[in-house]
Structure 1
Amino acid sequence: MTNNENQKGKRKERLAVKTRQTKWAPVWAVLRKFGVGKKVHPSHITKNRRSWRRTKLKIKPRKIRKWHMG
């Protein structure tokens, strides 16, 4: 396995962890926590919230070849 493939695997692994942490809660969990009459968005239960604008995952982007160098 080359170094580049290893880095790709690590990046995907970190993304997978972050995805698991930010998944929305199921409907029954909302009902159990807040009761039947309460209208609450399922994301209120999840521990870590994520926004594309506010916080970044601190994962390096893939390297792109510079076209002006040939």
Structure 2
Amino acid sequence: MSKNKPLGRKLRLARALKSNSPVPAWVIIKTNGKFRYNFHRRDWRRNDLKV
């Protein structure tokens, strides 16, 4: 991907990057283990972004 990219694509990539984090430990404790795993986790090699 080029270094210079449109702002819209850059914002979508930033949003995808932020939403790719695991569930915090305090959330697992607070929900008594109901939310253990982030189902929206994405691996850069296995999954493709529709950006």
What is the TM-score when the length of structure 2 is the normalising length? 0.59
Q: Which has the larger radius of gyration?
A: 1
Which whole-Å CA distance do the structure 1 matches of 2:39 and 2:18 have between them? 11
- How many matched pairs? 46
Unaligned runs of 5+ in 1: 36-41, 60-70
Seq. identity, %? 30
Which whole-Å CA distance do the structure 1 matches of 2:27 and 2:8 have between them? 32
RMSD across aligned positions (CA): 2.4
What is the TM-score when the length of structure 1 is the normalising length? 0.48
Unaligned runs of 5+ in 2: none
Aligned to 1:68: none
Which whole-Å CA distance do the structure 1 matches of 2:14 and 2:39 have between them? 16
Larger RCO (CA within 8 A; separation ≥ 6): 2
